[in-house]
Structure formats: C-alpha cells, structure tokens
Structure 1
Amino acid sequence: MADNDSSDIRILMFPWFAFGHMTPYLHLANKLAKKGFRITFAVPGKAINQLEPLNLFPDFVSFHPVTVPSVTGLPPGAETASDIPIFLSRFLAIAMDLTIDQLESLIKCISPKLIIFDAAHWIPQVARPLGIKTMCFNVISAASIAIVMVPARNIPTDRPITVEDLASPPPGYPSSTIVLRGKELRTLLFVTNPFGEGLTFHERITMAMKNSDVLVVRTCHEVEGNLCDYIGSQYQKRILLTGPVLPEESKSTLEERWSNWLAGFEPGSVVFCAFGSQIILEKTQFRELVSGFELTGLPFLMAVKPPAGTATIEEALPEGFEERVGGRGVVWGGWVQQPLILAHPSVGCFVSHCGFGSMWESLMSDCQIVLAPHLGDQILNTRLMADELKVAVEVEKEENGWISKENLSEAIRKVMDKDSEVGKLLKENHKKWREIINPKLMNEYIDKFVQSLHEVVR
C-alpha cells in the first residue's frame, strides 16, 4: 500500500473550521495515507465525531482536537461554520487565530515536514523559522480564486469598496464566460468583510497564498487550466493540482428509508435537490422552490435545512402540499448520503447550489444537472459548468435574485424531457467530460502531487 520513502514524512493539516473545507482535506489525507504519509489532522474537537467515519486509514491519519476559544460575538459552544449563520464567520476566524499557541505546541511536538492549511494566514510565519514547508491548499474553484483572490484585483483600502470597483475582471483574467453579471457582482463584496481581528477576507486569503511555499488547487488542468496558469503567474509561485479529490468508493450502503423509497420509481425519473450545509433559505423562497418541484409532476427528494424562522421542514411547507404530492415528493430537513443518492439508478436529475464539492460530484455522476447558485463562488462554478463545459442548465432568476416556481420547473423539464434538444446536448457533453475526468486520470493527479510533495520537503 505505502510508498516506502513516504513513511518518515509527517504532515500537519489545519483547514478552516468548516465542513466544506475539512472534508476535502480529509479526502486528500486519505489519498496521501494510502501512499504511506503520516498525517496529523488538527480540527475542532466537536468536528472529529463527524469526520472519523471518513478516515479510511486511522493508522496513518490521526485527529488532534483543537480547543476553540470563546470569543465575544461567537455563540457559546460554536466550533465550526455549521454552528453559526454565515455573517458571524468573522468571529470564528478570530477564534481560529487565537489557537496559534496550540498549533505552535503541536508543531514542536510532532515536528512535521510540511503543513497544509488555508485560512490560518499565520501558519507560514510559525513554520518558516523551524524549517517547515507550507502549502496553501484551496478547496474552491480556480475560477473563484482567479477573479478575486489575485494581486491584480486591486481592492481599495482608503475608502469603502463599491460594486463598480469589482465590475470588471482583474487585468489578464483569462475567461469571458466565467463572470458575474449585474447585481451578482454584489456577492463579491463579501471579500471586503471583516474576517478576524483587523483583517478582511481578501487580506487573509491573499496573505496566506503569498506567504506559503507552494499553492495547491483542488481542480484539473483539463477543466480550469487557463485559470490555474493565471493564478500562478499572479503569485509567481508553483501551482500544484490535486484533481477533485473525491472520496474512495464508499463501502457504506444507502439508508434503507431512501433505498426503499427510490426503488419505487422508474430509472432516471427522480429529481434530487440539495443546497449544502450552510444555505438557509428564506421561508417564501423555500415555499416557491417546493412548489416548483411539485409543478414538474416528477418524483423528487429535496434535502435542505429548515428555512429561516422555522424549527422544522413540516411547518414551512405550503398548505396542502403533502396531500397533493402524495408519495412522489419528499422534503427532508436532515443530512443525506448525497454521493450514494446520486449513484442510485432511479435518480436522473440533480438540482444543486453548485458548491465546489457538489460540482465535482455532479460532474462525475450520470445525472442531468440543474444549477441554482446562491453565493459568488457558486455562481462562478455554475458559469464554468453551464457556459464553458456546457453540461448543465442554470435556473433563470428574477432581477432581485428570486427563483420562481415556473423557472425552476422549466429548467428541470428542459433537461428531463426525453425529446428536449437541450437535454440531449447536455447529456452528450456530460458523458464526454465524465470520460475525460475518469478514475485513472484522478489517480495520475494524486501520483504527480505526491511526487511534487517529495520534492518540496527534500
């Protein structure tokens, strides 16, 4: 299993305290453990229980609990981004920065040869005096980094930033299709929000990237090569790519409740919808989307958090909804096994927010893809999928960002109708890309990354 010359290389991983970061870091840890590397995975103690089942090599990957300090503004007991609304993230960043003493002690204890990190911009200054190399591993798309997290994106510091400051892509940005339009540009304003004490999000991430020894992006050259080259030229650093780092073939089985329910429908007929762990819809938008699924006439499974101001999914559903859809529609407020649901023969369409992990999972699935992005990076991922790769359709939004039930239903029908020319074209393109981004290619990316890793720590 292991590369003999990897067993003496200890790696410390310290991702941002969000499952959308910790999970892909752990998937990468599994790939490296398979090659014989020993990894210490430093994350909040509460997160370890959820991550442990994903650790496929416990003899090589060990968790180290990090105590998240209490911070004014952070709810008591909050340790990860899933515990808080997104607007409180700045306080979680302050708490992360206060763990520096814990990390320094851990580093001195385990003497890693390499630290892989993202949001803790101070890691390089801790590691460099000790002769330890650092890699800033970005788990968002190269498109998201290239359009906003590059030195050429001049963020004014002497005045409040406006949408007009962000209206044009930075100089040299290599895509005319992966862009934000109109009011979508407002979603970029988040990069100027405080993220920690005295730091904006933009300052924190660009500092982490500038000061690390190597930049790593979770993508493929076949999909985002021009954007990766641009990032490398901007930072004048070597860029390593890991591929999408999807989890190994799951040994677990789909929960009986879902396997039994899905078994009652024709192959490729069910629409599955999931919007990730952080998105909480407004109640009116939630009801509109639910009505949109009802309008399709197709069987559907919608897995989302209860909308804002409600404790349960049931209390938020439109009146008479459950009676009207009967057994063909389920709206679920808890966690589901997304990859296993996408792999089920009855599922034929995936409606997604196009977070980066879900983007790759949809690309590697057999499902038709409908995208309803909410945040800036999700919109850019959507443009990559819909406009560049041409494997998905984006739900048309109203001027104010509202998704109507009619537009959602129309987008789903467009890809699910057997006679739809759009659906046929997307299916052909999707098949082509799935053949390109195959397991063999994914393994080659990991092999190249491992080889480069050895070169970095020599």
Structure 2
Amino acid sequence: MENNKNEKPHVLVIPFPQSGHMLPHLDLTHQLLFRGAVVTVVVTPNNSTYVDPLRRLHSPENLRTLILPFPSHPLIPSGVESLQQLPLQALPHMLEALSGLRDPLSDWLRRQPPSDLPAAIVGSSFLSPWINKLADEFSLKSICFLPINAHSVATMWAQEDRGFFDDLESATTASYGLVVNSFYELETQYVETVKAKFMTHHRVWTVGPLLPVNSGVDRGGRSSVPSEKVTAWLDSSGENSVVYVGFGSQIRLTKQQTAALAAALERSGVRFIWAVRDAAKKISGDSQDADAGEDVIPAGFEERVAGKGLVIRGWAPQSMILNHRAVGSYLTHLGWGSVLEGLVGGVVLLAWPMQADHFYNTKLLVDELRAAVRAGENRESVPDPEELARVLVESVKEDLPERLEFMKLREKGLNAIKEGGSSYNNLDDLVRETTL
C-alpha cells in the first residue's frame, strides 16, 4: 500500500504500560509504519526504551516519540511506570494515574498545526474512557487495541458483574473501531459475535499474529544469562527436546508452586529453560505474604540439574527461544501474547492458567480446539510433581495429538499474515480507515 508524502496518515499511538500490552501494541505500530503511516508514540520516560527497536528501523520523520512525565499517584511508588513492577491488584491505581495523561496530551494536540494533527488515535482499550473523550475533543477517530482474542472479548463482555471493567467495555464499544491481535480463521464465530452483539458495526480488525519487531535490539530488560549463551545452550540440544517454562511479566509463583515445579522438572529428566521473574514492588496495603512476590528456586536445584536445565532470572529472550528448533513445548499461563509466540514457534502449549483471559484461552485451545494440554488449574493450585513430570515428558513427543492440531492452527495463522491473507488485508484496511 503506497502513499504520497502529503497523503500519509498521522496516527497517535497510546499503549498501556505493561509488556504484555506494550510489546504487541508496538508490533502493531511497526505494521502501521510499514504501510506508510506517520506515527507518534506516547510513552513515559522509563518506558521509552520499548520504542528502541522501532527507532532502529524507521526514520524520525515517520516515527516520533512523545515522552510525557508519568502522573503521580499516592499508591504507586515513585519510579514505577509499568504494571509488571506491581501486583495485579494495583491495576485500578495504574488506570487512575494514566488518566492524568489526558490534559498534557490535549495541550500537545492543541499546539499542533492543522496539517500535522493526527487523524486517529490507536490507543489501549484499558485507557479508552479518557482516550475517547480526547479524540472527541479534537474530532479524531478513537480506535481501541486489545492484545487478546475475540473469544475472550465475547466471553468477558457477556458477563453481568465486571466491576470497574464495565467502564472499559462501554468505552471500547463506543469507539470508532477495535483492533484484536488474533486471526479470523482461528475464531470466526467469536469475531462475528463481537461485531454483531457488542460493536454494532463492521470495524473489528483481526491483525494477528503480530510478529515481534526484528531490529537486533533486545526488547526486554536485565537478564542473568546473555542471549548468546541461551542460543549456544539450545544449539547443543536435540530437536523438540527442550521444555520452556515461563509465566509472563505479571505472574510470580509462590514458594510452594515453585518447589513443585522444580521437583517435576527434576524428576522428568527433560531438558528445560526456566524463566524466573524478579520480585514485584509492594504497594500500600498489599497483603501478599513475603513469598508471593517472587519465584524462589529451591536451594541446590540448579546444581542438581546442571547440564539439563538453564534458569534465567529477569528477562528472557522468549521469542528467540520459542522459535528455536530445540524447543518442543512451553509451560505457560496461556496469556494470549504467549499463545501467539508459541504458535509462531510451533511448540506444544502446556496450559497453567492463572487469571483474567488465561481461563478463556484454556477453554478455547484445550477444551474446544484440542490444540493444547492442561498442566495446571489456577493461581492457587499446587501441581502434583509426579503428574506434572509425566506431562512434561509427554510434551516433547513428536506424535502428541495436541501438537498435530496446533500445527494446523499455526499454518492458518502464518497464512493470515502473508500478503493477501486476512490479517494482512485488515492491516491495510486499518491504515486506509485513518485517512477517510
């Protein structure tokens, strides 16, 4: 899709500061830039580095960064600007704080010359209550981005009691359109349900799986193991022989869960990489016990599994790991971003759902599509080490039925993002809509 210089649409992108939201939103931004849009990304100072991979690939003329101070909040510690630094119950406080960006953005938009005013805001659905008002103030199109799938959207919005999420749903359904990181062939029925029952118009764009921006710049933070060492370790492993264990940026296991998982890995004898998160910062009134904020590896575990297992503390190069030929399965909370990374990598998903949309994703992939394996129950459950060890051993087998079903979905997903595919065409249409 080509645009003359004077016809380039200008889009304002406002992501939610949590890596599971921020990263796919910036992957979407890359696709908008690829299609000729000029994009201004709004971030706070500590989140500016997330944009570095895009800065490596796109000129400052087309990719602009608007850095605004993080609004202070009495219940958010100074220096914290991302939800993954906090326990999940801090989400309402984070949303309250981020609403303080509206006035600075309004001032910025007021100062823009008419020729350079954005035509649309592609903002996080989590921020839609005030983004919609900002868009109305300047007669812009407000388009919501959700990093989850249509099945989860349709399920959550059909529930009667959603607490403060009611405001988010109302604002999202009132927006000009909705962008979903999924592909039409995966969940046609649910996409159509969202259009007909909730959005009441056709502007629901499935654009996934959004591939990670490949610029040679790491997308994460500090890590205890350099990426090149991880690659070398995987290179020394047989094909589909390694289990990757990771629970995203928000989940941290209790001491009991960590001990059970460690015992299962040790007893199974499988090769593995285990990504362990840093502790979250406490918030005022946080009642979590002292062990609930971090994964505590049992003493002596790493020495006992030396040569068989690799423990990575902090950030792990997850996309690279999942795309390596040696990785055969992925023990995951089944957050949607992780599902899509596993899909692109072609690994078996072992589902241990913890919260929010994880349970809906498990229902879709395990119960409906038979394309993933249930390995855990919920955030409170402690798995039986013997049973989990059995699941881990089975998961690296080539003829596992769930592997065969998941590979069929993978083919559909990769076809969707090829030129002429459903997601590729929807991205073209999304950029086209911002110029109408």
Secondary structure of 2:361's counterpart equals helix
Which residue, 275, 288, 298 being the options, matches 2:270?
A: 298
Which residue, 173, 177, 197 being the options, matches 1:210?
A: 173
Give the whole-Å Cα distance in 2 for the aligned partners of 1:41 and 1:350.
32
Secondary structure of 1:285's counterpart equals helix
Give the whole-Å Cα distance in 2 for the aligned partners of 1:399 and 1:115.
35
Classify 1:345/1:452 alpha carbon distance in 2 versus 1 (closer, same or farther; 3 Å): closer
List aligned pairs for 1:75-114, cutoff 5 A: 75-110=77-112, 111-114=117-120
The answer for the alignment partner of 1:125 in structure 2 is: 133
**How far apart are 1:457 and its partner, in Å?**
3.8
Secondary structure of 2:185's counterpart equals helix
The answer for the alignment partner of 1:177 in structure 2 is: none
Does the CA-based 8 Å contact 1:220-1:241 persist in structure 2?
Answer: yes
TM-score where L is the length of structure 2: 0.86
Segment drifting more, 64-73 vs 431-440: 431-440
Does the CA-based 8 Å contact 2:143-2:176 persist in structure 1?
Answer: yes
Query: What one-letter code is carried by the residue in structure 2 that aligns with 1:240?
Result: W
**How far apart are 1:26 and its partner, in Å?**
0.7
Segment drifting more, 243-252 vs 361-370: 243-252
Does the CA-based 8 Å contact 1:398-1:404 persist in structure 2?
Answer: no
Which residue, 68, 71, 93 being the options, matches 2:70?
A: 68
Give the whole-Å Cα distance in 1 for the aligned partners of 2:210 and 2:378.
35
TM-score where L is the length of structure 1: 0.82
Matched, 1:13 2:24: no
Give the whole-Å Cα distance in 2 for the aligned partners of 1:17 and 1:398.
25
Structure 1: state its 5+ residue gaps: 156-190, 193-199
Does the CA-based 8 Å contact 2:366-2:373 persist in structure 1?
Answer: yes
Does the CA-based 8 Å contact 2:119-2:140 persist in structure 1?
Answer: yes
Classify 1:95/1:398 alpha carbon distance in 2 versus 1 (closer, same or farther; 3 Å): closer
List aligned pairs for 1:54-453, cutoff 5 A: 54-55=54-55, 56-59=57-60, 60-110=62-112, 111-117=117-123, 118-120=125-127, 121-150=129-158, 153-155=159-161, 191-192=162-163, 200=164, 202-235=165-198, 236-238=200-202, 239-249=204-214, 251=216, 255-306=227-278, 309=290, 316-397=296-377, 401-417=381-397, 423-439=399-415, 441-443=417-419, 444=421, 445-453=423-431
**How far apart are 1:212 and its partner, in Å?**
0.8
Give the whole-Å Cα distance in 2 for the aligned partners of 1:222 and 1:283.
40
Secondary structure of 1:223's counterpart equals coil
**How far apart are 1:326 and its partner, in Å?**
2.2
TM-superposition CA deviations, 1:40-61 (whole Å, max 9, x none): 0102211112331244324322
Give the whole-Å Cα distance in 2 for the aligned partners of 1:77 and 1:8.
36
Give the whole-Å Cα distance in 1 for the aligned partners of 2:108 and 2:434.
21
Secondary structure of 2:328's counterpart equals strand
Query: What one-letter code is carried by the residue in structure 2 that aligns with 1:294?
Result: E
Query: What one-letter code is carried by the residue in structure 2 that aligns with 1:67?
Result: P
Secondary structure of 1:72's counterpart equals coil
Q: How many residues align?
A: 408
**How far apart are 1:230 and its partner, in Å?**
1.0
Classify 1:399/1:18 alpha carbon distance in 2 versus 1 (closer, same or farther; 3 Å): closer
TM-superposition CA deviations, 1:365-384 (whole Å, max 9, x none): 23222121111301211222
Give the whole-Å Cα distance in 1 for the aligned partners of 2:243 and 2:41.
36
Query: What one-letter code is carried by the residue in structure 2 that aligns with 1:347?
Result: V
Give the whole-Å Cα distance in 2 for the aligned partners of 1:356 and 1:433.
14
**How far apart are 1:95 and its partner, in Å?**
0.8
Does the CA-based 8 Å contact 1:244-1:442 persist in structure 2?
Answer: no
Secondary structure of 1:147's counterpart equals helix
Structure 2: state its 5+ residue gaps: 219-225, 280-288
**How far apart are 1:451 and its partner, in Å?**
2.4
TM-superposition CA deviations, 1:396-423 (whole Å, max 9, x none): 44896322222321222222245xxxx4
Does the CA-based 8 Å contact 2:240-2:328 persist in structure 1?
Answer: yes
Structure possessing the higher relative contact order (Cα contacts under 8 Å, 6 or more residues apart): 2
TM-superposition CA deviations, 1:279-338 (whole Å, max 9, x none): 11111111111111111101111002156746998x933243233212211222121111
Query: What one-letter code is carried by the residue in structure 2 that aligns with 1:455?
Result: E
Does the CA-based 8 Å contact 1:371-1:394 persist in structure 2?
Answer: yes
Give the whole-Å Cα distance in 2 for the aligned partners of 1:426 and 1:311.
32
